[in-house]
Structure 1
Amino acid sequence: MSITGLYRFYRDGFRSMTVGRTLWKIILIKLFVMFAILKLFFFQDYLGSNFSTDEERADHVLQQITGPAENNH
């Protein structure tokens, strides 16, 4: 199957959708909400606001990853 044939296949399929268009709109709205709006309110720039250089940021991340594990026995 050629690229133009593949393109026509999907183009015609999306044109004839009725319920599918609504579902795609819902999916796109949900993706927008997840990546744009939630990022603004819940995922603050912690490293950028608390550390001034890249070296300090790297040291903090390294300490968080390789820090001592707590024993919760």
Structure 2
Amino acid sequence: MANTNILNKVFRFYVDGFHNMTVGRVLWTVILIKLAVIFLILKLFFFPDVLEQKAKGGNQADYVARELIDR
């Protein structure tokens, strides 16, 4: 029972802190936008799925095994 009370206090502490933020909300918005740019846009344009391009027809396992043996 004491463990639940401590977890409840910690949860309420963070909830109250986020509700009382003014500048922090803008900063969190900027952080989330930057993460979206990094993980979504950069991945689409700069990191193509090379395995899908090299291993045609769903033979990814065979392609990887062949590359490991040949190298």
TM-score grouping bracket, smaller chain normalisation? 0.7 to 0.9
Bigger proportion of residues as helix: 2
Give the whole-Å Cα distance in 1 for the aligned partners of 2:65 and 2:18.
46
Letter paired with 1:55: D
1:57 to 2:64 alignment? yes
Equivalenced residue count is 63
- Unaligned residue ranges in structure 1 (runs of 5+): 68-73
Question: Taking structure 1 as the reference length, what is the TM-score of the superposition?
Answer: 0.74
Correspondence for 2:15? 11
Deviations 1:2-44 (A, max 9, x none): 1111110000101111111111000001111111111111110
**How high is the sequence identity, in percent, across the aligned residues?**
49
Question: Taking structure 2 as the reference length, what is the TM-score of the superposition?
Answer: 0.76
- Stretches (4+) displaced over 4 A: none
